[in-house]
Structure 1
Amino acid sequence: MDESQFPVKTSNSDSNTIAILTWIGTIFFGFIPALIVYLIKKEDPYVQDHAKEALNWSITVMIGYAISWVLMLILVGFLTAFALGIANLVFCIIAAVSASRGDTYRLPFAIRLIK
């Protein structure tokens, strides 16, 4: 990927904290924390970037859970829902750690609906 499409690192601890809380909130509350941050913090491009990525990831996870519900009719959905829950936890923690360092993180499997 081209490095020019990523925002520059930030040294603002408030921005880092909000980005971390966005990712931690995504683990527990889905898309709601990312949507709130995305709508409120429009003046901070670093936080905005993390909120967009968390929102895209939350939408991807919701689509995955919907597919898992359908697959539960043939009992495979239980395994896919479990795997999706583990992936959500791991990727959100990785992104939160990246936000604590002031870096951006692109989730590998996220559908990019919000650009």
Structure 2
Amino acid sequence: MDQFETDAATPPPPPPPAGTPSKDERQWAMFAHLSALLGGLLTSAFGGWGFFLGPLVIWLMKKDEMPFVADQAKEALNFNITVSAIFLLLVIFTVLTIGIGALLTVPVALVVGITALVLVIMAAIKANEGVAYRYPLTIRLVK
């Protein structure tokens, strides 16, 4: 049997049902969520503003061709804008209180950071399973 011939006993896999994201879409959606972590790590020396850069790039690249990816990238983008805004408010509060507010803001920042990490990982797993994930307590600025 030639290497390009298929065995007649094993039919090709069926196409995914209508409405189910393809493997490629699920993978891109997972990358949209995980790219926030990478962006945050790469820009942490500059204040961590890159949390929303990865989801933004993926959303702009795939919004017209992959609806599931567009939805999940927007969700990741909105969540990471919300988290970045929370961190910015914590920094402003610390500065306005001349550093004394750090007694409050540092523990809050740790809780927000760990919660965000857990939620991003959960979202990436759900997106890879083909399930549209919705982050809790997210301001949805990008519609």
CA distance in 1 between partners of 2:62 and 2:31 (Å): 13
Where relative contact order (Cα < 8 A, 6+ residues apart) is larger, the structure is 1
Which of residues 30, 37, 40 is equivalent to 1:20?
30
Matched residue pairs, number? 107
Tell me the TM-score normalised to structure 1 length.
0.87
Tell me the TM-score normalised to structure 2 length.
0.71
Amino acid at match of 2:68: Y
Amino acid at match of 1:24: L
Residue segments in structure 2 that go unaligned for 5+ positions in a row: 1-18, 40-50
Residue segments in structure 1 that go unaligned for 5+ positions in a row: 1-7
Report if the CA contact (8 A) 1:41-1:47 is conserved: yes
CA distance in 1 between partners of 2:20 and 2:134 (Å): 14
> Residue deviations 1:19-41, cap 9 Å, x none?
11111111231111101011110
Report if the CA contact (8 A) 1:19-1:51 is conserved: yes
Larger gyration radius, structure 1 or structure 2: 2
For the residue of structure 2 that corresponds to 1:31, the secondary structure is: helix
Which of residues 17, 20, 34 is equivalent to 1:9?
20
Q: Please tell me whether residue 39 in structure 1 is matched to residue 60 in structure 2.
A: yes
- The RMSD of aligned alpha carbons is 1.1
Per residue, is there more helix in 1 or in 2? 1
Q: Please tell me whether residue 48 in structure 1 is matched to residue 77 in structure 2.
A: no
> Residue deviations 1:59-102, cap 9 Å, x none?
00110101111233312111111111101101101100100110
CA distance in 2 between partners of 1:28 and 1:89 (Å): 11
Q: Please tell me whether residue 71 in structure 1 is matched to residue 81 in structure 2.
A: no
Amino acid at match of 1:9: T
